[in-house]
Amino acid sequence: MRIKEIIVVEGKDDTAKVKQAIDADTIETNGSAVDKNIIEQVRHAQEKRGVIIFTDPDYPGQRIRHLVSQAVPGCKHAFLTKAEAKGKHDKGLGIEHASVDTIRQALAEVYQLEDEKTDHDINRELLLAYGLIGGPKAKERREKVTEHFRIGYTNGKQLLKRLKMFRISKEQLEQAMTRILQEEKDE
């Protein structure tokens, strides 16, 4: 599988793992202190071939994703869940610990960010109604929702923004929540 876009990863171990899974070029940020040279490389890559940001599902990875996507609009995003990115024996968390198949799946499900002005039918009241914010099971439900849509875990304040950002429709959220609520009943 060959990917046209250039993939932004955190380091050389991530590059090695991605190249085991697919044929692609990468740009390494070398940690969360993304300097202006890296941003310029990403900007150039976005103009020429497009960019997919593929960082670890932890705070530094989310920080890199945010910094790069703010500086270079229009990047695509691929995500791994924390469970998919865990190392053997719970040692480490990151792309370099994921399976080749998981990396392929994450890159096959790439999301394109959109203009925040686009109208959506998901709102805060809907999230409250489903117990995704402000309820006793809110954190657990958010984890399940963000894993279902492969959009990276968020806190309650960011969930609405992330659902809108990745064009998750009200119907898609309702289907996911129906499954999640049924699983809760079956437990």
pLDDT tens sequence across 164-175: 877 788 888 999
- pTM value is 0.70
Please give the structure tokens belonging to residue 100.
């080749």
Q: Is the pLDDT of residue 140 over 60?
A: yes
Walk me through the domains of the chain, giving residue ranges and CATH numbers: 6-112 (3.40.50.140), 124-186 (no CATH)
* pLDDT in the model for residue 45: 94
